[in-house]
Structure 1
Amino acid sequence: MTHQPPLITSDVLIIGGGPAGLTAAAELTERRAGHVLVVDREQHAGGIPRHSEHTGYGMRDLHRVMSGPAYARHLVQQATAAGAEIRTRTMVTNWADDHTVDVTSPEGRYQIRPRAIVLATGARERPRTARRIPGDRPHGVYTTGQLQNLVHLHHQPVGKRAVIVGGELVSWSAAVTLREAGCTPALVISQYPKAESYGAFNAAGRTVLRVPVATRSRVTRVIGKGRCQAVEIEHLDTGKRRTVACDTVVFTGDWIPDNELARAAGITLDEGTLGPLTDTALRTSRPGVFAAGNLLHPVDTADVAALDGKHVAQQVVDHLHGRPQPSDGVRLIADAPFRWVAPQILRPNDPAPARDRLLLWTDEFTRFPKVTIRQDERVITRRTLVWPAAPGRVFRVPSSVLDGVSPTGGPVHIGVR
């Protein structure tokens, strides 16, 4: 006879204890959503900010500036003070049925059956293996997350001279961490004509950290037996190759959502983000299952992910109060050079997206982008924005550009020129 694992129930289960999950937990508890349970596989809740020692967290959601660890602690305290329950070292391994998940923790195996679920599992950087970069397999090759975990949580040394692959915001975070660990960031490598991060960060990186940037370049080989000794890089326009000595390589950015649970549930994924397909209320294709944070837009800042958590709370409460799952909606489609848009479904009577913003990711730099909205071969809106659309960071567009969209029309295409 098969032994049935113990079953517990809750009103809302939040899977993932990062900024989105913790903010959703606090908001849901304050809105009297019942028993709110957060599970996280790490030893401590808080997500990536736990091991990001630099400042800059909390500006949009808390209207203050904090270090990553302080921000993570604040979100945990906020959720627990509101009355949410947080269980760490607790991993959701599978779905027992449409509304029940299997869980493994130090206390053993059990099942959780909530009335609603919020997926807030976040995103991760693609490691070297996923980027298919050939060469040797030496020690000293990390992602930013691995580097910061090693330095800030385990206080372990890294090398003496590093190459950073990628020019996003997180790339400069890696440079700061390397400096703190006594390792000199010798070069940042970006495939784009200019590093992807904001100009102020790029300028600070060059002047304060004194890190040169090799643009229009890529790593073609990692060299080293035992410990990394160098990388070979290629200029994308000329094909010229050179070798840069280093004992540490950090692969940054190139994010992918932690979508394993969504995939296992058969939840529809968006082809662009690879996260769950959602509407502006952050519903997924499975009734009663919502999603928030960088699982949906890999990757935006922690405070934007947190505001997703705040936004989803009212939608979960509406579900708990019996609001039916709507069926019809208009698809939003990102046209090149955009790679994706989030959310992807617009439905009548639904709320505007979080912060009244559509989030997009572009593969080309446009200094003064003219955003064009088309439906059924008709131009609905043309709006020129004063901030650039740039690779490596989220491009935010006011959702009011969709005001003229017909709820009974065809897909809506979002382009730029």
Structure 2
Amino acid sequence: MTHQPSPITPDVLIIGGGPAGLTAAAELAGRRAGHVLVVDREQAAGGIPRHSDHTGYGLRDLHRVMSGPAYARHLVQQATRAGAEIRTRTMVTGWADDHTVDVTSPDGRYQIRPRSIVLATGVRERPRTARRIPGDRPHGVYTTGQLQNLVHLHHQPVGKRAVIVGGELVSWSAAVTLREAGCTPALMVSQYPKAESYAAFNAVGRTILRVPVAARSRVTRVIGKGRCQAVEIENLDTGRRRTIECDTVVFTGDWIPDHELVRAAGITLDEGTLGPLTDTALRTSRPGVFAVGNMLHPADTADVAALDGKHVAQQVINHLQGRGKPAGGVRITVGAPFRWVSPQILRPGDPAPARGRLLLWSDEYVRFPKLTVRQGGRIIARRTLAWPAAPGRIFRVPSSLLDGVSQTGGPVQISL
């Protein structure tokens, strides 16, 4: 009969060692919140930036610009110096009870029973199978994460000519990685009237990377047996189809949270983000369990995810000290063309969300969005913003728009 070791009992368990989790760990350990333990299933902590070998990281949180790997190393060092413990190759496989998790690692199977949990498991791109694109199943079909892992961590070759599916910021990151691997990005395919990324990135991508964009188009078939040979694309307006020769296809964006632990725990999900429903203090529906990063807003930049980690620290400390128990709350919802908003609950006495911003996702491009906030059939705020709402990137709205919300007035809706 095998002996079950006693559970480890840290004060805070952070599940996920990406920018959000590591920043939360550094902040909590630095503020003497007790034993702070980070677990991550990968060989090394750092999250997606670890294999995203280009610059642009750290602007909002560190106020400097770094490459992805350098940024990841810095966050690990920051958390470790503050006194947090980091265990890699350590996977949380389930829940033993409401506040105890089962863990598997090279050291064996054991349990962790913390006083508080921060979920920071991040987000992933939907692969080809989840997008239901028919055809053969050849080699040479990746997501951006798989591509960057293969090229930057394992230094493996890819193909010679690629088609990139999607026009988000991460799509241009894929184009950079392909170039570095000696593979020519032949075409970018976007269902929208133009690539979804910021205009500056689109311009740079077209002029420097020389990647043409097939707008209002979709991939309808992958062709090839042992190795990818081509893709078939369709113009969404005319229905015309054509075949593009390529030996590599990269599916980018179309994000979904890594929410398996949330679902297994029975924590309430938001129907828009598919991540956990949270308030502005980043509490989930389970007391003592918080959530941060891109599992809440799939997907924003790494530095914004990191700032969630900084924001949650005081809320976790309040919980550890028996303060900040949630009361009441008003549900925040969205109307078309918005798909979701994060966070989704406004409670009396809670802080403003991280950076004083609500994060939304739009399915349409609107150059000068005129926002309306309604509660109980009454308009409580209107504002025209100077920045566009656009598919494929987060739309940031000042949380002061909700200053007029009544805690007894029912759900709030933000719409155009």
With the length of structure 2 as denominator, give the TM-score of the two structures.
0.99
Is the 2:315–2:324 contact (alpha carbons within 8 Å) kept by the matching residues of 1?
A: no
AA at the equivalent of 1:242:
R
1:280 aligns with 2:280: yes
Q: Quote how far apart the aligned CAs of 1:215 are.
A: 0.2
Residue deviations 1:223-255 (CA, integer Å, cap 9, x gap): 001000000000000000000000000000000
Residue deviations 1:315-371 (CA, integer Å, cap 9, x gap): 000000002531410000011110000000000000000000000000000000011
Instruction: Give the 3-state SS of the residue equivalent to 1:186 in structure 2.
Output: strand
Q: Quote how far apart the aligned CAs of 1:6 are.
A: 3.5
Equivalent residue, structure 2, for 1:385 = 385
Equivalent residue, structure 1, for 2:236 = 236
Equivalent residue, structure 1, for 2:352 = 352
Equivalent residue, structure 1, for 2:63 = 63
Equivalent residue, structure 2, for 1:167 = 167
Equivalent residue, structure 2, for 1:361 = 361
Instruction: Give the 3-state SS of the residue equivalent to 2:81 in structure 1.
Output: helix
Distance 1:324 1:176 in 2: 45
AA at the equivalent of 1:276:
P
Is the 1:136–1:224 contact (alpha carbons within 8 Å) kept by the matching residues of 2?
A: yes
Residue deviations 1:34-56 (CA, integer Å, cap 9, x gap): 00000000000000000001100
Distance 2:88 2:291 in 1: 20
Aligned residues between the structures:
416
Sequence identity, in percent?
A: 86
1:22 aligns with 2:46: no
Q: Quote how far apart the aligned CAs of 1:164 are.
A: 0.1
Residue deviations 1:102-147 (CA, integer Å, cap 9, x gap): 0000000000000000000000000000000001110000000000
Stretch of structure 1 that moved more, 148-157 or 325-334: 325-334
Is the 1:6–1:109 contact (alpha carbons within 8 Å) kept by the matching residues of 2?
A: no
Instruction: Give the 3-state SS of the residue equivalent to 1:7 in structure 2.
Output: coil
Q: Quote how far apart the aligned CAs of 1:2 are.
A: 7.4
Equivalent residue, structure 1, for 2:108 = 108
Equivalent residue, structure 1, for 2:303 = 303
Distance 1:304 1:240 in 2: 40
With the length of structure 1 as denominator, give the TM-score of the two structures.
0.99
Instruction: Give the 3-state SS of the residue equivalent to 1:61 in structure 2.
Output: helix
Instruction: Give the 3-state SS of the residue equivalent to 1:92 in structure 2.
Output: strand
How big is the alpha-carbon RMSD for the aligned residues of Structure 1 and Structure 2? 0.8
Q: Quote how far apart the aligned CAs of 1:211 are.
A: 0.4
Distance 2:5 2:329 in 1: 39
Q: Quote how far apart the aligned CAs of 1:167 are.
A: 0.1
Equivalent residue, structure 2, for 1:269 = 269
AA at the equivalent of 1:113:
R
Which residues in structure 2 correspond to 1:17-96 (within 5 Å)?
A: 17-96=17-96
Which residues in structure 2 correspond to 1:210-249 (within 5 Å)?
A: 210-249=210-249
Ranges in structure 2 where 5+ consecutive residues have no aligned partner: none
Q: Quote how far apart the aligned CAs of 1:30 are.
A: 1.1
Distance 1:299 1:152 in 2: 22
Instruction: Give the 3-state SS of the residue equivalent to 1:318 in structure 2.
Output: helix
Distance 2:307 2:334 in 1: 23
Instruction: Give the 3-state SS of the residue equivalent to 1:280 in structure 2.
Output: coil
Q: Quote how far apart the aligned CAs of 1:7 are.
A: 1.2
Ranges in structure 1 where 5+ consecutive residues have no aligned partner: none
Distance 1:211 1:343 in 2: 36
Distance 2:201 2:188 in 1: 13
Distance 1:409 1:111 in 2: 43
AA at the equivalent of 2:281:
A
Q: Quote how far apart the aligned CAs of 1:4 are.
A: 3.0
Instruction: Give the 3-state SS of the residue equivalent to 2:55 in structure 1.
Output: coil
Equivalent residue, structure 2, for 1:199 = 199
